[in-house]
Structure 1
Amino acid sequence: MPRKLLVSSFLFVALTCAPALAAPVAATLPRDRHKQVDVLFSQWNSKTLPGCAVGISRDGVLDYARGYGMADLEHDVPVTPRSVFSIASISKQFTAFSIGLLTQEGKLSLDDDIRKYVPELPAYEKTITLAHLMHHTNGLREQGQLLNLAGWRGDDVSTEADVLWALSRQRGVNFEPGTEVLYGNAAYTLLAVVVRRVSGQSLRAFTDERIFKPLGMADTHFREDHTELFSRRAWGYTSREGGGWRLSVSNSDHSGASNLFSTIGDLLKWEQNLLDGRVGGQALVAWARTSGRLNDGTATGYGGGLRLAGYRGLDMVSHDGMDGGYRTESLLFPAQRVAVVTLCNGGNIEAGELARKVADVYLGAHMKDEVPPAVKLADAQVSALAGDYWSPQTDEVVRLEFKDGALRQVGVPTAFVPIGNGAFRPGESMHVWRFSSPRGLSIQDFWPTTRNFIRLTEPMPSASALAAFVGQYRSDELDTSYTVRVADGKLAVRWPRRDEVVLDAVGGDHFVGSLGAVTFTRATSGGINGLMISNRRLRRLRAERLGGEVSIDRAIPAPLSQ
């Protein structure tokens, strides 16, 4: 690590970790704060529901920890503060810190080309560096969606080799490295590979030796085998259609992006390390808490596996997680030296929202109301904005409807709140959806890269016109063929080992379904010559049309070789 960075990092931590700042917090803490926290989680304090564990520390001292709901519905085991959860994407900061430790020792540089360590990857037109991976500015397509489109089912086992197979076949990227920010998991799976190939240890062994044991995090480990058993596990659940719950856990045998298991107590020890640098030192902690930047100098708001956005006027370091039925959130307020960790095992539990409400209880006296106030608009003005919008930038489609007196994304319950000048915020978030006359829409969320859309006004294809899209399409990048047919007046697409996906027409050659947006492409003659599949984390994956039309009955799914 350059000496200049070490010095500036030391100063950064010294300024943000001063113990003197903790005193005002103690003076303003509500006496009934534990009772207020219990009220927040009361909905999940049941013997028939999954639930959460929550922990709060002040200046490294545990202030409150409690479990709500059930860790194991099948065996009537309640959640306790010692329950072990999959913490999902909170895992990323430990992978990043491992890279930082190796950087500190001079064993690698963040400016290194990823192909120096993973030569299996293709030589893209522009170099992808370790820094691009760490800060989500790499442009790689999302690993889970690639495997999905190659025929993996949700409950299939996926390995590091499977991810490398998919990534090594890709000829395209979402964008030129360094020009945008797009959160994804492939980058951190690759960083885990780098840790192993540079250190000679698996990510589990490296983090056990270098991070978890020194910090006394005895209940924390990266899982390398989905069949591994360990005590006090909280199982992940999602709701079952018609009532009840179903088990929802990942079968992945790769780590780096996820697959770390831990407890609230262990994670609070880690949050304290992000203040005092007991492991790694103050300079490395500051490095992890420093934002990456785009090529034009724009801060990404993301450090070493850490989100760096503030909350209600306070500096905050955080990360959320979502994997199967697990929903997790960790928050750290450095100046106030307060940390909140919420680990939940129900897919419909808003762990991030709950964690912020806990922070409101503890730090409300120090916070500001930053959510833009609502303005009144006539229903006719709002309903006129409903429709389908397509992005020439990403090839995504977003669908908006006017429902129950508010504008909403189709399939998403959150109401859009008008805040003036053509802008709306989804619920209480700080995200901004801005409409411009006559057809434009821009979306600004946590990430600094704005996504731009235009309203689709092309006519819907007639029932007879749908026949032109029917046929087989081949993706060499995934070694997979897709069969498109007409079913009940709509297009449907099917590929090996996956259920058929029905596509809704949204205008012209654009369609949407559960796999994202599907845009058919045309040759200069006007005939359909291919299709592209796009969604937020995967853009323009192309499949070329094969000669002739193919009936769905002739498309016999072949077994997928793994």
Structure 2
Amino acid sequence: MDRAGVVCGMTQVAYLLDTNVCIDFLLGRSARLAERMAAEFDRLSVSAVTAAELRVGNRGSSDPVGDLRRVDTFLALLNILPFDDAAAHTYAEMVRLVGGASSGGRPVDRSAGDGVGHGAGDAQRKGFRRYSRPDSGGLERMMTMAVRMVTLLGFLSILSAPAVAADARKIDAAIPEIDRLFADFQVDSHAPGLVYGIVSDGRLVHVKGFGAQDLVQKRPVTGDSLFRIASMTKAFTALSILKLREEGKLSLDDLAETYVPEMRGWTYATKDSPRIRIRDLLTHSAGFVDDNPWGDRQTPLPDADFTRMLEQGVPMSSAPATHYEYSNFGYALLGRIIANVSGMPYRRYVEQSLLTPLGMTSSGYQLSEWPAARRSLGYRWEDGRWKREPDMADGAFGAMGGLQTSANDYARWVAFLLSAWPPRDDAESGPVSRASVRMLAEGSNFMSVGQRNGKSGATACRQAAAYGFAMRIAQDCDLGLTLSHGGGYPGYGSHVMLMPDYGVGIFVFTNRTYNGGAGAAWDAAMLLQKAGALIARDVPVSPLLAQGYAAAGRIYASGDVLAARDNLAMNFLMDADAVHWGKRLAALKGEVGSCAVDAPLSATGNLSGKFTWTCEKGRVAGSLLLAPTADAEIQELKLEVKAP
């Protein structure tokens, strides 16, 4: 958002200005931003009428801010947002900018117009009262609120992908078939209820519920129904560790026993075993035994009992850092590390550091804190009928799988993760840096060859896969880089898969034991791919790459590499001299003739790219690779005739 937009947002809160004045302004600057702002007002309980007016630009409401159930509901959200040093940078200027608005403490009637093109609209809102400058103490409180408004508007930018990737219309066209896919899965898998969502371009573009939250009241599943997401919780734990790392409070290569002293006397699998590092816990390579059946029942374990378990030590399955073996116990240890380093209970740290900044107000760990009417109760399918699974309170193992959330809330998490790609120069706007989020995709050294989930997996090319930090990382020949994770838990199953190359994520929650829905999620991704809805983001062409590409064009046009002598790296003419290049260029030009060397360049990085030139008698395909030197000269240029 530009400076004027920030001023608009800040003054709206500082003086309780008419919502539509700011929306008028923002619509003139960015229709897309106004849409996002309207969506945020929806979440904060703006009436449907007012939300619709914000979107279409209708200025008919006589009291738009009054349409909020209470304006202090909106301000309450602002109160939980940080007023930090970065925000304070604009404080003094804002006092100056809005300080002149004082009218002696009297309500201001702007019905005659405000001098910036809003007179007619204000005439329709004559009853709306704006308050003039408060006393000095009140001004400081209001300015604090105002700066927090900027934080909220900054959060909206988190939900905006850096560039539009997926084709929204093609996604919409594929939705009916995807709905049928998940409807069939819900019935075929005997799930009482299911909800799934698709996130694209930073927002939840589709959410759909099927079945019932519970089998007694038979409340229908909606986007606000609450589900436990089991091991998909682990990503929140991993990102909390990465946040502590970027704050300088721990290192991934620190020994875990540094922060959990009960581990110091453990006996390892072999005498030459290395001590367990935090990194080993994150990648399930700490040497613990696979513990899915046992670990899933440990969520409510009291912290004191967990401490005694740690003091006694546990048998090791293997030496740490030698292979992958899934461990819920290891993630419970990470939860203990987070608590000990942060000085607060694990769940409080996640809520304060991740959930609250992302606006995930319907997410948490303790089931008793949420209305029963919103909860999807857990069941297992056994002996041809559903059986209720017992609810488990939050405890020492919550870090491995205890989070409860809704589809509408979880979509914010997915949008935040996807916003970390591609790397770029934009200011940071999330609770954790984009670089730290991308570390979730840093796979361990323990690679595997896997089959894609879903019906297409049997015939698809195999995936190269590894476990990263709470995500399974795979390169898929149709979907590109993927991050995914399932959740299996007594009463619940879930799955999420992210496609950062396209800015798209798909997730599914069910309330049946171990009924994750991975196949349906990946089948949905393939339906989007086949519909042409997944469009990779273009990599920007850097100035150095543009300079090198122009030199490549001069080389071909002249038929002589020495035409760009100053743009060639020291190895270039050593690998093939000017005479040899002259012969190759003459042969190419003899076959295809002159070419239009100003065709678009497809960057594959800041210093590399590919291109296709259209020529008199055909086409030339080429690639360009620059050297890691100050002037980034051309170290390699490839040119060949492109088949028709």
TM-score normalised by length of structure 1: 0.55
Extract unaligned runs of 5+ from structure 1: 1-16, 149-153, 369-562
Give matches, 1:228-239, under 5 Å.
Answer: 228-231=369-372, 232-239=374-381
Work out the CA distance in 2 between the residues paired with 1:161 and 1:217. Answer: 29
Partner of 1:64: 206
Q: 2:260 aligns with which of 118, 127, 131?
A: 118
- Work out whether 1:54 is the aligned partner of 2:196: yes
Partner of 1:136: 284
Give matches, 1:440-479, under 5 Å.
Answer: none
Kept in 1, the 8 Å contact 2:202–2:419? The answer is: no
- Secondary structure of 2:486 counterpart: strand
Q: 1:329 aligns with which of 468, 478, 495?
A: 495
Kept in 2, the 8 Å contact 1:238–1:248? The answer is: no
TM-score normalised by length of structure 2: 0.49
Work out the CA distance in 1 between the residues paired with 2:310 and 2:295. Answer: 10
Compute the RMSD of aligned alpha carbons. Answer: 3.1
Work out the CA distance in 1 between the residues paired with 2:306 and 2:293. Answer: 10
Displacement of 1:88: 0.3
Partner of 1:22: 165
Kept in 1, the 8 Å contact 2:299–2:395? The answer is: no
Residues 155/76 of structure 1: CA separation in 2 closer, same or farther (3 Å cut): farther
Work out the CA distance in 2 between the residues paired with 1:31 and 1:185. Answer: 40
- Secondary structure of 2:357 counterpart: helix
Displacement of 1:127: 0.4
Kept in 2, the 8 Å contact 1:325–1:345? The answer is: yes
Displacement of 1:188: 0.8
Kept in 1, the 8 Å contact 2:281–2:330? The answer is: yes
Give matches, 1:274-353, under 5 Å.
Answer: 274-277=417-420, 278-293=430-445, 301-311=466-476, 313-314=478-479, 315-347=481-513, 349-353=515-519
Give matches, 1:155-174, under 5 Å.
Answer: 157-170=300-313, 172-174=315-317
Per-residue deviation, residues 436-464 of structure 1 (Å, max 9, x unmatched): xxxxxxxxxxxxxxxxxxxxxxxxxxxxx
Work out the CA distance in 1 between the residues paired with 2:435 and 2:412. Answer: 18
Displacement of 1:20: 4.8
Displacement of 1:362: 1.8
The structure with higher relative contact order (CA 8 Å, sep 6+) is 1
Work out the CA distance in 1 between the residues paired with 2:227 and 2:388. Answer: 17
Shifted more, 176-185 versus 353-362: the winner is 353-362
Work out the CA distance in 2 between the residues paired with 1:308 and 1:39. Answer: 25
Give matches, 1:294-443, under 5 Å.
Answer: 301-311=466-476, 313-314=478-479, 315-347=481-513, 349-365=515-531
Q: Which has the higher helix share?
A: 2
Residues 34/333 of structure 1: CA separation in 2 closer, same or farther (3 Å cut): same
Displacement of 1:218: 0.7
Work out the CA distance in 1 between the residues paired with 2:467 and 2:319. Answer: 18
Kept in 1, the 8 Å contact 2:482–2:500? The answer is: yes
- Secondary structure of 2:507 counterpart: strand
Kept in 1, the 8 Å contact 2:418–2:504? The answer is: no
Displacement of 1:334: 0.6
Partner of 1:260: 403
User: Which structure has the larger Rg over C-alpha atoms?
Assistant: 2
Displacement of 1:303: 2.2
Displacement of 1:186: 0.9
Identity of aligned residues (%): 29
Give matches, 1:236-251, under 5 Å.
Answer: 236-251=378-393
Work out the CA distance in 1 between the residues paired with 2:294 and 2:274. Answer: 21
Work out the CA distance in 1 between the residues paired with 2:227 and 2:386. Answer: 21
- Secondary structure of 1:215 counterpart: coil
Displacement of 1:264: 1.3
Work out the CA distance in 1 between the residues paired with 2:442 and 2:377. Answer: 34
Kept in 1, the 8 Å contact 2:379–2:512? The answer is: yes
Partner of 1:203: 346
Work out the CA distance in 2 between the residues paired with 1:49 and 1:349. Answer: 7
Displacement of 1:91: 0.4
Displacement of 1:41: 1.4
Work out the CA distance in 1 between the residues paired with 2:291 and 2:311. Answer: 11
Per-residue deviation, residues 42-76 of structure 1 (Å, max 9, x unmatched): 46369x96121111121112221111011111222
Kept in 2, the 8 Å contact 1:67–1:79? The answer is: yes
Displacement of 1:126: 2.4
Kept in 1, the 8 Å contact 2:299–2:402? The answer is: no
Letter in 2 for 1:237: Y
Displacement of 1:18: 7.9
Work out the CA distance in 2 between the residues paired with 1:214 and 1:283. Answer: 18
Work out the CA distance in 2 between the residues paired with 1:133 and 1:279. Answer: 23
- Secondary structure of 1:194 counterpart: helix
Per-residue deviation, residues 234-292 of structure 1 (Å, max 9, x unmatched): 11100232534333544562211110011112111111111224221221112222223
Letter in 2 for 1:303: G
Letter in 1 for 2:510: C
- Secondary structure of 1:291 counterpart: coil
Work out the CA distance in 1 between the residues paired with 2:524 and 2:187. Answer: 16
Displacement of 1:209: 1.4
- Secondary structure of 1:76 counterpart: coil
Letter in 2 for 1:31: A
Kept in 1, the 8 Å contact 2:365–2:394? The answer is: no
Residues 39/145 of structure 1: CA separation in 2 closer, same or farther (3 Å cut): closer
Per-residue deviation, residues 119-150 of structure 1 (Å, max 9, x unmatched): 112333520000000111101235676789xx
Q: How many residues align?
A: 340
Work out the CA distance in 2 between the residues paired with 1:249 and 1:367. Answer: 40
- Secondary structure of 1:120 counterpart: helix
Work out the CA distance in 1 between the residues paired with 2:181 and 2:314. Answer: 52
Per-residue deviation, residues 78-99 of structure 1 (Å, max 9, x unmatched): 2111111100000001111111
Letter in 2 for 1:317: L
Displacement of 1:113: 1.0
Partner of 2:275: 127
Extract unaligned runs of 5+ from structure 2: 1-159, 421-429, 448-463, 535-644
Kept in 2, the 8 Å contact 1:313–1:367? The answer is: no
Kept in 1, the 8 Å contact 2:161–2:201? The answer is: no
Per-residue deviation, residues 164-191 of structure 1 (Å, max 9, x unmatched): 4334434631111111011110111011
Kept in 1, the 8 Å contact 2:488–2:514? The answer is: no
Per-residue deviation, residues 324-380 of structure 1 (Å, max 9, x unmatched): 020001111111111111000012644111211221222235699xxxxxxxxxxxx
Kept in 2, the 8 Å contact 1:239–1:348? The answer is: no
Residues 177/300 of structure 1: CA separation in 2 closer, same or farther (3 Å cut): farther
Work out the CA distance in 2 between the residues paired with 1:105 and 1:229. Answer: 32
Kept in 1, the 8 Å contact 2:495–2:508? The answer is: yes
Partner of 2:320: 177
